[in-house]
A and B are shown apart, each in its own frame.
Chain A
Amino acid sequence: GGIITQTPKFLIGQEGQKLTLKCQQNFNHDTMYWYRQDSGKGLRLIYYSITENDLQKGDLSEGYDASREKKSSFSLTVTSAQKNEMAVFLCASSIPGGNAEQFFGPGTRLTVL
């Protein structure tokens, strides 16, 4: 089996701050994903990457940057945190293809003061 690690678990930022979230997986999966989870809105895809150094925009990419430095890691940057923003960011990985089971990390909970 494998595991997905997300750091930090909790992230508190200030309005306008640039914040970076990190994700590591040891499944040796090619594809990795970043989702934002808001209450009542489900999971919305921010970015995904099908291989090292690849980036694909999802439905919610505005206001975010991402980086796939190597196969096992995928970072997400909030370019300018919005005041009173609260959400959980989930990282996932899978083998290639939209019909592949995705394996999720435990999430990073963001609070912006």
Chain B
Amino acid sequence: GEQVEQRPPHLSVREGDSAIIICTYTDSATAYFSWYKQEAGAGLQLLMSVLSNVDRKEEQGLTVLLNKKDKRLSLNLTAAHPGDSAVYFCAVSPNSGTYQRFGTGTKLQVVP
């Protein structure tokens, strides 16, 4: 079955710096990719999602890159601020799938 690896598990950056989180997956039939954010004591919230025909998507300081050849998905927070401190998860699903498979999570800390 699909294996999803996420790195790094912990990431600390200074306010204004970039933060990059990477997920790799194994199933070439994977067609749908998402990033979720989990703030302390809360459930996950969807940040952005892309289909497999999209290589790059930017929204509100976030950039998602998809490299299908290397089966790699990344999330770049271009100018992180303390409110971005949270745990981030990638999630993937095949086109015909009935559920998503989540990565192991990255705990991001943005220090002022």
Residues of A within 8 A of B (CB): 4, 31, 33, 35, 40-45, 48, 50, 56, 58, 90, 92, 96-99, 101-107
Which of B32, B43, B99 touches A104 (beta carbons < 8 Å)?
B43
Q: Which of B11-19, B63-71, B90-98 is near enough to bind chain A?
A: B90-98
Which of A56, A90, A102 touches B98 (beta carbons < 8 Å)?
A56
Chain A minimum-CB-distance residue to B9: A40
Chain B residues contacting A48 (CB-CB under 8 Å) are: 98-99
Distance in angstroms between the alpha carbons of A104 and B46 in the assembled complex: 9
Q: Is the CB of A98 within 8 A of B97?
A: yes
Distance in angstroms between the alpha carbons of A58 and B97 in the assembled complex: 13
Residue interface mask B86-112, A partner, CB < 8 A = 1: 000101011111111111110000000
Distance in angstroms between the alpha carbons of A32 and B97 in the assembled complex: 15
Chain A minimum-CB-distance residue to B93: A98
Q: Which 10 A/B pairs are nearest by Cβ-Cβ distance?
A: A104-B43, A98-B97, A98-B93, A99-B32, A42-B104, A43-B102, A104-B44, A101-B46, A42-B105, A42-B102
Q: Is the CB of A41 within 8 A of B104?
A: yes
Residues of B within 8 A of A (CB): 4, 6, 9, 31-32, 34, 41-46, 49, 51, 89, 91, 93-105
Given contacts A31-B98, A43-B89, A104-B44, 9 further A-B contacts (CB under 8 A): A4-B43, A42-B4, A42-B105, A48-B98, A58-B99, A90-B43, A98-B98, A99-B31, A104-B45
Chain A minimum-CB-distance residue to B97: A98
| Given A42-B89, A43-B102: A98 in contact with B32 (beta carbons within 8 A) | yes
| Given A43-B89, A99-B31: A105 in contact with B100 (beta carbons within 8 A) | no
Chain B residues contacting A96 (CB-CB under 8 Å) are: 98
Q: Is the CB of A101 within 8 A of B49?
A: yes
Chain B residues contacting A58 (CB-CB under 8 Å) are: 99
Q: Is the CB of A107 within 8 A of B6?
A: no
